Chain A
Amino acid sequence: MMSYVYAVTDRPDEPLPQQLGFGDEALAQVVFRDIGAVVSAHGGPHVPGAVDEVWRHEQVVESLMSAHAVVPMRFGTLLASCDEVESMLRRGYPHFVDDIARVRDHVEIGIRFLTLLKPDAALSTSASAHSHLPASDGIAQPAMAPGTAFLRTKLLREHERRDRRHAELELVRKTYRVLAKHAAASKLDDDSVDAPTLSAAFLVHRGGFASFRQLVARLADVDRDLAFLCTGPWPAYSFVSTHLSKLTQGTGS
């Protein structure tokens, strides 16, 4: 039987919650020193990726959070045996300990930002976008050669897109910075050039959860150019550094 890993926790001496894992298998613990991996037996090398299974993983991880500091594993973390799990704990021990200290008494809050800028709000520099093209007064003057006019139009659109994205990013970053001041750690995923929404994650102390939520609502009320979709509290998936691939020798899936 393989071992499906849900999380690594502190205090492995504490009893596990009355929560069943995948396939209604009982939860078990693999202990190494003062940390433990919570697992359940799994019949095959694949984990079905249906929504119900994702929620089951989430239920197990969250049920552990009431009594432990929890380093959540990504959905689908599967190892060949309990020996492999123990080996993972041994190899990653210092990292797990660091992660446990970081996430203890904290939860993750996720926010998706959607900018509501008007179509022409961001266009400031596009008019000077094509000084390197042969001179023309308009985008597609009749006198302009067709290939050049085609490229001129493409270039103009490209500059409009970049200007707009720049304005959207600035808007999101401004709000993100305000929220980040109220979090122990935060991350903004602003790498995707054309993603319609931008995602941020905030590591918030349990004691500050309610006020952080209120702050989100207040900012959303004030900023009419930005819409927020805020979810949580989640296990701190975005704030753990221990990646399974670094700790196993190719047996993880």
Chain B
Amino acid sequence: MSIPIDGPQSGAAKVLHAPEDQAILDRFAGALGETRRELPQRIATDSDKVERDLARLVLSVIELLRQLLEKQATRRVESGVLSAEEIERLGLTLMKLEARMDELKTAFGLQDQELRLDLGPLRDLVNELQC
């Protein structure tokens, strides 16, 4: 039996089945876009942009570390080894950190989705921490 392998010209020729609902297709497109989202490969040298791009880069790293700290904290709470006082102290620290991050994001006009890092192989490490 012959099947149509004759060199594609575009991705549309390769779609065998897709949802008819445009809203669902948009979600697929959004999901694919999300996996490709990454920080700009170069920092803009335009003086208007350079500060924001640098802030975006630095805050992305800080946000990643903050989220890792948060995951680690919830793990420790779940493990049951922390006293009530320790939980409160940890919670207050993370709360202040989150509030401070929110202030910085507002100051530089950055949205949460702009601070997601494409971690490449490091993604597995982060996923492991999330499990």
Which A residues fall within an 8 A CB radius of B? 19, 55, 58-60, 62-63, 65-66, 107, 109, 112, 114, 116, 130, 132-134, 145-151, 154-155, 158, 191-197, 206-207, 209-210, 213, 216-217, 220, 227-234
For A151, give its contact among B17, B21, B77, B127 (CB under 8 Å).
Answer: B77
Chain A positions within 8 Å of B16 at CB level: 109, 213, 216, 230-232
B binding-site residues for A, Cβ under 8 Å = 1, 3-11, 14-19, 21, 24, 27-28, 30-32, 34-35, 70-71, 73-74, 77-80, 84, 87-95, 123-124, 127, 130-131
5 inter-chain pairs at a CB distance below 8 angstroms, sorted by A residue, are: A107-B3, A132-B78, A134-B87, A229-B17, A230-B15
For the complex of A and B, 8 pairs with smallest distance between CB atoms: A147-B91, A147-B92, A196-B31, A59-B7, A151-B91, A230-B17, A147-B88, A132-B80
Given that A194-B130, A216-B17, A230-B17 are known contacts, is A114 also in contact with B27, CB under 8 Å in the complex?
yes
Q: Say yes or no: A116 contacts B24, CB within 8 Å.
A: yes
Docked complex Cα distance between A146 and B98 (Å): 13
What is the CA–CA distance of A45 and B14 in the complex, to the nearest angstrom? 30
Known: A66-B5, A147-B92, A151-B87. 14 other contacts (CB 8 A): A19-B7, A66-B6, A114-B24, A146-B91, A147-B94, A148-B88, A149-B91, A192-B127, A194-B127, A216-B17, A229-B15, A229-B17, A230-B16, A233-B4
Please report the C-alpha to C-alpha distance between residue A193 and residue B87 in the assembled complex, in whole angstroms.
Answer: 26
**B14 near A232: Cβ-Cβ < 8 Å:** yes
Chain A interface mostly: mixed
| Cβ–Cβ < 8 Å partners of A158 in chain B | 71, 74
Residues of chain A within 8 A (CB-CB) of B11 are 231
Assembled-state Cα–Cα distance A140/B73 (Å): 18
Who on chain A is nearest to B12 by CB?
Answer: A231
Given contacts A228-B17, A230-B16, A231-B14, A150 and B130 within 8 Å (CB-CB): no
B19/A148 in contact, CB under 8 A: no
A225 to B93, CA, bound (A): 40
Q: How far is the CA of A206 from the CA of B19 in the complex (A)?
A: 24
* A155-B78 CB under 8 A given contacts A114-B31, A191-B127, A230-B15: yes
Considering the chains assembled together, what is the distance between the CA atoms of A216 and B17 in angstroms? 8
Q: Which of B32, B80, B88 touches A145 (beta carbons < 8 Å)?
A: B88
Contacts of B78 in A (CB 8 A): 132, 155
Q: Of A59, A116, A193, which is within 8 A of B130 by CB?
A: A193
CB distance from B92 to the nearest CB of A (A): 4
Contact call A132/B77, Cβ cutoff below 8 A: yes
Contact of A227 among B24, B90, B94 (CB under 8 A): B24
Q: Of all chain A residues, which has the CB nearest B123? A: A192
A66 to B5, CA, bound (A): 7
**Contact among A55, A58, A193, A227 with B28 in the assembled complex (CB-CB below 8 Å):** A227
Docked Cα-Cα span, A62 to B7, in Å, equals 5
| A115, B80: Cα distance in complex, Å | 33
Across the interface, A148 reaches (CB within 8 A) one of B30, B87, B127, namely B87
Are the CB atoms of A134 and B124 closer together than 8 Å?
no
Provide the bound-state CA to CA distance between A197 and B89, in Å: 37
Report the bound CA distance from A132 to B94 in whole Å.
18
**Chain A: minimal CB distance from B89 (Å):** 6
